[in-house]
Amino acid sequence: MQIRRTWLSVVAALVAVPALAAAAPSMDSSYHVVARWQLGGDGGWDYMSVDPATSQLYITRGAHVMVVNTANGKLIDDMTGFQGTHGVVFDADGKFGYISDGRANQVVVFDRHTHAVVAHVAAGTNPDGILFEPFTKTVWAFNGRSRNATVIDTRTNKVLATVPLAGKPEFPTSDGKGSVFVNIEDKSLLEKVDARTMKPVAQWPLAPCESPSGQAADTQHEILFSVCDGKVMTATDGNSGKVVTTVPIGDGPDAAGFDAQRKLVYSSNGDGTLTVVRQEAANRYTVLANVPTQRSARTMALDEKTGKVYVVAAKFGPRPAATAANPHPWPTIVPGSFVVLVVAR
């Protein structure tokens, strides 16, 4: 999400957070890691998503996208031919998926049954966060460097509009009723866009939130959850723009999820915890647990059918020696260490 907070930010979280996940407290010990799927494979990672029709887990890994069977943790497919993938979303008809390929400045459309690519749609500069908006049946690609959103008609795979934004966009959500919300990272704002007119309608400060990244939506109560630096999650009223409350979370978050059936909000954190929050009311929340996961596990996907949460992580080797060409080198991923952790109650 900067090149987005791609896996480079994952490494930054490892360096910045000294505490081990194993030392993190859990108020409700019934939440725990129930499975570890050692997938290995090259590259960092970014967003991941569960296909609601097939329950397959899609994990973006830079130049490829891994597709995992959530029944057994086995790799179903490894989609290749990309340059720098970020997110995957799905249409409402169970037919097509959409991948934001940031380095290629495009959205890639694929068949969800065969995983074959069926179209490439030009977007803005570095499309990152991506959203299927069900009310208008459009896909929105949020372009981090050009600071706008590309709106695609899923019936034709043609671009309908380019929507200017208030700053650098991060993760988007929709209320399913014609409104799109996106975190504006560099200005700590939540921006609301009318999906029908494809025009921004409001920009709301998220203070005390700073650098909002992941976002989730309670569409029934029109509440938006933004996870932020400083170990805080905000709950914002999607009608008034008022921050109704804040909730403490782990350090280094990058993704959020809301389970409407079980009234739970999740924040996956780079310090190696998954914060589980119970929604008591639209303006009242209780932290149930900070579940130990693994350091660097700061992105997540929620399977709303089962209530399972998937996070991914890897081990990192020593930092290479600095050079004139690369004065701040990043540690490399230990080969074969990439893993999916399944958290459930």
> What pLDDT shows up at residue 294?
97
DSSP 332: P
Whole-angstrom Cα distance, residue 272 to residue 250? 8
Whole-angstrom Cα distance, residue 276 to residue 286? 9
Predicted TM-score of the model (pTM): 0.92
Whole-angstrom Cα distance, residue 134 to residue 174? 8
Asked if 41 and 78 count as a contact pair (C-beta separation under 8 A), the reply is yes
Asked if 295 and 11 count as a contact pair (C-beta separation under 8 A), the reply is no
> What pLDDT shows up at residue 29?
76
pLDDT in tens, 169-215: 999 999 999 999 999 999 999 999 999 999 999 999 999 999 999 99
Helix (H) or strand (E) holding 10: helix 7-16
DSSP 189: E
From the CB of residue 80, how many other CB atoms can be counted at a distance below 10 Å?
Answer: 9
Burial class (CB within 10 angstroms; exposed 0-12, middle 13-18, buried 19+) of 76: middle
Taking alpha carbons only, the member of 66, 86, 82 closest to residue 2 is 86
Domains of the chain, each with CATH number or no CATH: 7-37+44-317 (2.130.10.10)
Q: What is the pLDDT along the chain (345 residues), one digit of tens a residue?
A: 443 454 445 555 454 444 434 444 457 779 999 999 999 998 899 999 999 999 999 999 999 999 999 999 999 999 999 999 999 999 999 999 999 999 999 999 999 999 999 999 999 999 999 999 999 999 999 999 999 999 999 999 999 999 999 999 999 999 999 999 999 999 999 999 999 999 999 999 999 999 999 999 999 999 999 999 999 999 999 999 999 999 999 999 999 999 999 999 999 999 999 999 999 999 999 999 999 999 999 999 999 999 999 999 999 988 888 888 888 887 888 999 999 999 999
